[in-house]
């Protein structure tokens, strides 16, 4: 009887020890995978998760996700299903970032999207994409909205260092979009903010400000005062555009005085952080300069732009707007928000 009990005890101890060794070995493998040392210029592993032709979103989009919940919500929107039924399309978020690219609505068969490569540069991850257009053989005209979903490798080194994720056209090597990355003090140590809509209210080549300036407004009085400074000419009374500040943040951007035409300033995407209830809006500033192909007129210009950021019900949480240069990723200025009282 004692011999049997000893055998059973030894057998149990053997199973426990072997399982501990397996767990330790498995954790070492995971740790090694997460600590892979990357050099600037290294290409990241890409796993294509899903390719499709039909999406409910009819405008072009390039998005990156660092967390599962925002990815699930956007995927539900793509598929036209209820957010309560949202699910992950198959991206392992532990050591990957989820990338979703869509062409929007097209009216001919044969359009495709490729993700050719993703390159780690030290401060950015550059995702090279290619749009394959239909040939003459693709004659059938049907409404499509092609998209691609991929998982791109993402370890602790990338999370600690990157400040921008750029989408680049493979053929022209021109940047399509730049997305900010914010560092935070808790897991997953960084986050990729969610996109919010921006509506252009007004833009032009002439205003009173001859310097580069940025403003953000959550209530009408301060916006009206600033707008009059921007546009008042001393002869005609300037009337500010009528704007709804309920659920919206209004921005004004000026580029400064230029000795030539062809310059303009614009927003190439606005994003809100999901961590800590979204207390910031990140505005990616696009400064457009004249090229050889630009029709130029030699006149002093002062480009400006007025836009409305559609934040939605959570706009009361927004405490500041951060303007970021889309090329360098550097913060141009931060503006605190004072909200409209109702």
pLDDT, tens digit, for every residue of 58-111?
889 999 988 888 899 999 999 999 888 889 999 998 889 999 999 988 888 888
| Percent of the chain clearing pLDDT 90 (strictly above) | 41
Q: Are 167 and 192 in contact (CB under 8 A)?
A: no
Alpha-carbon gap, residue 214 to 14, rounded angstroms: 68
Q: Flag whether 117 is in a domain.
A: yes
Positions of the chain with pLDDT lower than 50, given as ranges: 2, 4, 7, 13, 15-34, 275-277
Query: Do 235 and 316 have their domain in common?
Result: yes
Query: Do 51 and 171 have their domain in common?
Result: yes
Q: Taking the model in full, what pTM does it have?
A: 0.74
Q: What angle do CA 23, 29, 34 make, to 5 degrees?
A: 125
Please list the helix, strand and coil fractions of the chain in percent, rounded to the nearest 5, in that order: 20, 40, 40
Structural domain harbouring 203:
197-336
Query: Do 232 and 157 have their domain in common?
Result: no
Query: Do 50 and 187 have their domain in common?
Result: yes
Q: Flag whether 14 is in a domain.
A: no
User: Among 136, 165, 192, which residue terminates a domain?
Assistant: 192
Alpha-carbon gap, residue 247 to 114, rounded angstroms: 36
């Amino acid at each position: 009887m004692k011999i049997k009990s000893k055998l059973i005890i030894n057998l149990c101890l053997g199973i426990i020890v072997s399982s501990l060794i397996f767990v330790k070995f498995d954790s070492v493998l995971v740790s090694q995978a997460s600590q892979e040392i990357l050099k600037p210029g290294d290409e990241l592993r890409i796993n294509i998760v899903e390719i499709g032709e039909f999406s409910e979103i009819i405008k072009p989009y390039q998005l990156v996700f660092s967390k599962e919940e925002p990815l699930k919500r956007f995927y539900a929107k793509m598929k036209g299903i209820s957010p309560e039924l949202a699910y992950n399309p198959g991206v392992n978020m532990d050591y990957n970032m989820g990338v979703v690219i869509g062409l929007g609505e097209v009216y001919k068969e044969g359009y495709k999207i490729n993700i050719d490569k993703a390159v780690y540069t030290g401060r950015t991850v550059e995702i090279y994409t290619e749009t394959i257009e239909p040939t003459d053989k693709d004659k059938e005209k049907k409404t499509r909205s092609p998209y691609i979903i991929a998982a791109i490798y993402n370890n602790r080194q990338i999370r600690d260092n990157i400040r921008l994720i750029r989408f680049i056209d493979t053929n022209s090597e021109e940047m399509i979009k730049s997305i900010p990355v914010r560092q935070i003090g808790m897991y997953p140590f960084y986050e990729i903010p969610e996109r919010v809509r921006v509506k252009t209210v007004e833009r032009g080549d002439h205003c009173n400000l001859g310097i580069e300036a940025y403003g953000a407004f959550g209530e009408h009085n301060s916006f009206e005062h600033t707008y009059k400074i921007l546009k008042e000419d001393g002869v005609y009374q300037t009337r500010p555009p009528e704007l709804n500040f309920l659920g919206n943040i209004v921005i004004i951007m000026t580029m400064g005085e230029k000795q030539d035409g062809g310059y303009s300033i614009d927003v190439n995407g606005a994003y809100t952080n999901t961590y800590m209830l979204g207390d910031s809006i990140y505005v990616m500033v696009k400064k457009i300069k004249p090229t050889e192909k630009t029709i130029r007129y030699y006149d002093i210009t002062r480009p400006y732009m007025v836009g409305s950021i559609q934040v939605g019900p959570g706009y009361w949480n927004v405490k500041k707007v951060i303007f970021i240069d889309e090329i360098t990723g550097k913060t141009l200025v931060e503006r605190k928000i004072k909200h409209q009282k109702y």
